[in-house]
């Protein structure tokens, strides 16, 4: 990993919520409801977690224009980080 990726990795790994949400997206694209269920994060927190991950460039929304059932997936950097998380 390069230095910038390591900085993002450190930011994600210090938060159990960010780590669990990232791991939930490791194998398939999901809606916030499915991410919350698979990562055991309350729905009231998942939008903040996804915003943080999106701001870091590790997660992207593939249908941003939708109001409901937005689908999130890992970016290449996100996939690299998810593979290195314990």
Q: Give yes or no for a contact between 74 and 22, defined as CB atoms under 8 angstroms apart.
A: yes
DSSP letters, the chain, are --HHHHHHHHHHHT-HHHHHHHHHTSSS-B-HHHHHHHHT--HHHHHHHHHHHHHHTSEEETTTT-SSS--EEE-HHHHHHHHH--
pLDDT at 1: 79
Q: What is the dihedral of CA 68, 8, 1, 75, to 10 degrees?
A: 10
pLDDT at 10: 96
pLDDT at 80: 94
Question: Domain segments of the chain: what residues?
Answer: 3-84
**Tens digit of pLDDT at every position of the chain (86 positions):** 789 999 999 999 999 999 999 999 999 999 999 999 999 999 999 999 999 999 999 999 999 999 899 999 999 999 999 999 87
Fold of 3-84: Arc Repressor Mutant, subunit A (1.10.10)
């Amino acid at each position: 990993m390069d230095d910038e990726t390591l900085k993002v990795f450190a930011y994600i790994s210090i938060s159990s919520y960010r780590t669990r949400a990232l791991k939930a997206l490791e194998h398939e694209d999901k809606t916030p409801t499915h991410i919350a269920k698979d990562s055991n994060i309350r729905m009231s927190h998942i939008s903040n977690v996804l915003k943080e991950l999106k701001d870091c460039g590790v997660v992207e929304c593939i249908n941003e224009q939708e109001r409901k059932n937005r689908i999130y997936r890992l970016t290449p950097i996100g996939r690299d980080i998810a593979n290195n998380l314990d």
